[in-house]
Amino acid sequence: MSLKFCSLSSGSSGNCYLAGSDNTYILIDAGISARKITSALNSLNVTPSDISGVLVTHEHSDHIKGIDVLAKNYGIPVFSNRKTSNELIKICRYSDKFIINSFENNVSFNIGDLEIKPFPLHHDAADTVGFSVKNAGSKICTATDTGCITDDIINEISDADLIILEANHDENILKMGRYPWHLKQRILSSHGHLSNTAAGEAIIKMIRKNPKSRQILLAHLSRENNFPEMAYQTIINILEQNSIILCDMLKINLLNRDEMSGVYLL
Ligand SMILES: [Zn+2]
Ligand SMILES: [Zn+2]
């Protein structure tokens, strides 16, 4: 096996993914407490000292909650772009006690035997990115916390074997719900979060761009403005309207908010 992936938590209350090869493990975001991360890792026979880096997509609290403790107590290096690094230095209590490595968007770098490429997303934080993680011909991409999926993003993620794609909200539930108007506008904007419908349309674009075999994990579902069954069915309906059916070439699963996923092996 060349790549493995497990969601420790996904959703507006906290995001943290483990990815790795046989030799190297990284975390993508650490948006739950270090205690929860440690116990989730332990259940996979991994310890924080096995983690070679925490890659940060952006500085919102549901992506960085556990970073202070992980980086200070275990010396795990943090990787983020310059604008996000500057925010982390302001937000994190112990940022003077840990190592922050700044990367450039769209420039690949290596952590152990993993090749990482950060690519820009469209979200209301300093400089949000998704990540491509490659090893031995396999590729995982994360694309959550983005108000839209542009052609540049499609170009980056279409050849991935496993894609963690945001399906944040149902637009009607959001519009009719109890969120204040400015928050609704923020989520619905092109720099907010991806709706179920937009996720379905992005999957169609990926398939048209590159009709390869792929698995998609629907991620970062809103507690207030979505239901797992609704996210899944909305996307299946969009695929069916485009004459695409789920088969061995295309698998779609949901990442649960309060539960670890299984381990995906590529
Ligand atoms: Zn965010
Ligand atoms: Zn988020």
193, 220 Cβ separation under 8 angstroms: yes
Domain of 244, in residue numbers: 4-265
| Mean of pLDDT over the chain | 96
More confident residue, 2 or 5: 5
Work out the percent of the chain whose per-residue pLDDT is above 70: 100
Rounded to 5°, angle at Cα 161 from 156 and 164: 70
How far apart are the CA of 248 and the centre of ligand 2, in A? 30
Tell me, what CATH number does 226's domain have?
3.60.15.10
Q: Smallest Cα–Cα separation from 212: which of 263, 147, 145, 137? A: 137
Stretch 66-90: mean pLDDT, rounded?
96
Cα(first)–Cα(last) distance of the chain, in Å?
6
Domain count of the fold of the chain: 1
Q: Which ligand number lies closest to the CA of residue 59?
A: 1
Distance CA 168, CA 145 (A): 8
Stretch 175-202: mean pLDDT, rounded?
95
**How much is the pLDDT for 1?**
59
Work out the percent of the chain whose per-residue pLDDT is above 90: 94
Backbone angles phi, psi at 254, to 5 degrees: -105, 140
How far apart are the CA of 60 and the centre of ligand 2, in A? 6
Q: Is the pLDDT of residue 47 over 70?
A: yes
Q: Is the pLDDT of residue 179 over 90?
A: yes
Structure tokens at 231: 């996210």
Q: Locate tokens 């960085």: which residue?
A: 64
**Model pLDDT for residues 213-262, shown as the tens digit of each residue:** 999 999 999 999 999 999 999 999 999 999 998 888 999 999 988 899 99
Stretch 184-192: mean pLDDT, rounded?
94
Q: Which ligand number lies closest to the CA of residue 14?
A: 2
